[in-house]
A and B are shown apart, each in its own frame.
Chain A
Amino acid sequence: MAYDKFEILTSTAVPLPIENVDTDQIIPARFLKATERKGFGDNLFRDWRYNNDNSPKTDFVLNDSTYSGKILVGGRNFGSGSSREHAAWAVYDYGFRCVISSFFADIFKGNCLNIGVLPVQVSADFSNKLFSEIEKDPKTVIEVNLQEQTVTLLATGEKESFDINGYKKDNMLNGFDDIDYLVNVKSDIVEFAKNTPL
């Protein structure tokens, strides 16, 4: 088993209503020099979060104690740019277990799924709804139910369903990863490789 199981997450959320948040913002390249997966959360959104002298930028949402929770709600086209899985690690290491957006960049979404952070794609309308509810009440509680594939605003009961393929859903519910699967079908792979010249 490779990571935590994900079943139902009930949490307040941190809003980041900016579009095209790229992975260089999520974690700048100069923080990719580690050879182990630890400590990346400290540099999540580093240059939006800290001034050059390392003092916190008070107007950035992660420095605003009004907002907290295990869910990050981002703007459209979240996670564009580089393939660095460090971006997903930083999101996880900071304490988020779910990112909600109306549109995800492809590699970031895959990286999240591979490490146990659930990317939840909702409609633009529902995304706007989440942002406005969180703005009105920062203690707004959101329930993400993977089994049912729903996101719900608990206060009002408004909900929307989201897509995830059955294989990945099963992985996340059980905490399996792709290597667990691939190792299990290794004989098929070895057979296939025999007919595939270098």
Chain B
Amino acid sequence: MKKTLFDKVWDSHVVKHVEDGPDVLFIDRHLVHEVTSPVAFLGLKNRGIRVLHPERTFATADHNTPTINQHLPVADPLSANQLKALEENAKEYGISHWGLGHKKNGIVHVVGPEYGITQPGATIVCGDSHTSTHGAFGAIAFGIGTSEVEMVLATQCIMQPKPKKMRINVKGSLNFGVTPKDVALYIISKLTTSGATGYFVEYAGDVFENMTMEGRMTVCNLSIEMGARGGMIAPDEKTFDYIKGREFTPTGAAWDKAMAYWETLHTDPDAEFDKELSFDASDIEPMITYGTNPGMGMGISKSIPKAEQVEGGVSTYKKSLGYMSFNEGDDMIGKPIDFVFIGSCTNGRIEDFRAFASIIKGRQKAPNVTAWLVPGSHQVEAAIKEEGLLAIIHEAGFELREPGCSACLAMNDDKVPAGKLAVSTSNRNFEGRQGPGSRTLLASPLVAAAAAVTGKVTDPRELMEKLVASS
């Protein structure tokens, strides 16, 4: 039978199928962070169960961590308690733990690929919906709830009905100033936040083939924002080159054996999808959101759609614009902004900081803007320094913070104040996501950089050298 990439990986991990129920799915790699794990560990204790495969679980602290003065004790007692719980649970059950201050610490979806934990053909789960990031390597990766975290700790399996399959093709060449983030926001704006619910997505077409691994991670990361449990891209030479030589990547004979499997990981010609969509790359321009979910996005040069032009309920749409203090028909260009956030598992990697630096270089931070630049990991932080980006950042009047999830979900002190408008490279613009009453515009690092130096929503193409375009 002709199989899709998704079928191949899923089917090879089914321990058993429950009649009129889910599959028992074996999980190769389990990532754990401090927020969604403590109750799972507590459940294990209450049931008197040990962790079945501690060597398959990796813990890092990221959601709750401060992004300044990480060498000092964590001030918030509740955050400190959660970080301590993770450390103690990891110790109790023999799980590797990259806590605050550890050189490998960083956002769980940034460090997984950095250290080769993320591999093609693997099943990867984490109590975090952006686990879909790891699909960039041809893995089946998705977010789970805490009950499921407990299941994986206890049995290395979860129970999941097999999702339907969708393929999204984007063909052609990307326009000047258009980044992987824009491609993803464009697709979500077309599908809405529920358009792929119940599906697992495969991204195909030359746009994704030509994308860097980090770009693919950004796209797969945002799969959940269209409702899909996850998204994946067939591994290729770029994938293999990326993972080779990393700490947890197989070596020698194990590498050869793995490669033999990995090279089979592509959708067979004529394999069937439940749904197939195609977009033309030339239709995509730099994107920005204007509402309170990631589906409410548009090309930066457009104006906010009228309620009657959008799908869904008019009252919900108007409530959303009311929260944002925007009007139907408004242009986004020129709107004054207060905050800029560069970071998160969506856009907190070195290529994102390179893009940001390419625009701010030789310019100055706008005086009305507070900017938080938060690397996804210590490895990203080190690269920023090594590549000379830190000097550019400092010369332009910005500062670099320490790694963590930070203002993406504002669990720590990095909260955008009520009413303030932030251009953010993260993944969610929900009401209050970046702090109670905060208003978020999701965009690429280029759009965020343009806003940071002009103090308002600005088309980054106006600030870019034509030479940068083709990269």
Contacts and interface: CB of A to CB of B under 8 A. Distances in A.
Interface residues of A, number: 57
B157 A81 contact: no
Nearest to A108: B145
Nearest to A37: B39
A76 interface: yes
A197 interface: yes
For chain B, what secondary structure do more than half of its interface residues adopt (helix, strand, loop), or is it mixed? loop
> Interface extent on B, as a size class?
35 or more
Contacts of B82: 33-35
B147 A83 contact: no
A160 interface: no
Contact of B53 (A81, A167, A193): A193
Nearest to A193: B156
Contacts, number: 200
B344 interface: no
A75 interface: yes
Nearest to A21: B316
A75 to B, nearest CB: 7
B307 interface: no
B227 A52 contact: no
Interface in B120-154: 127-129, 131, 143-148, 150-151, 154
Nearest to A28: B432
Contact of A22 (B21, B430, B437): B430
A165 B410 contact: no
B307 to A, nearest CB: 13
Contact of B147 (A19, A114, A165): A114
Contacts of B47: 179
B151 A182 contact: yes
Given A29-B411, A32-B411, A197-B254, A103 B15 contact: no
A32 B24 contact: no
A183 interface: yes
Interface of B: 13, 15-16, 18-22, 24, 26, 28, 35-36, 38-39, 42-43, 47, 49, 52-53, 55-56, 63-64, 76, 78-79, 81-82, 85, 127-129, 131, 143-148, 150-151, 154-161, 163, 193-194, 197-198, 227, 229, 254, 293, 312-313, 315-316, 319, 409-411, 418, 428, 430-433, 436-437
Interface of A: 17-20, 22, 24-25, 28-30, 32-37, 47, 52, 75-77, 80-86, 88, 103-107, 110-111, 114-115, 165-168, 177-179, 181-183, 185-186, 188-189, 192-193, 196-198
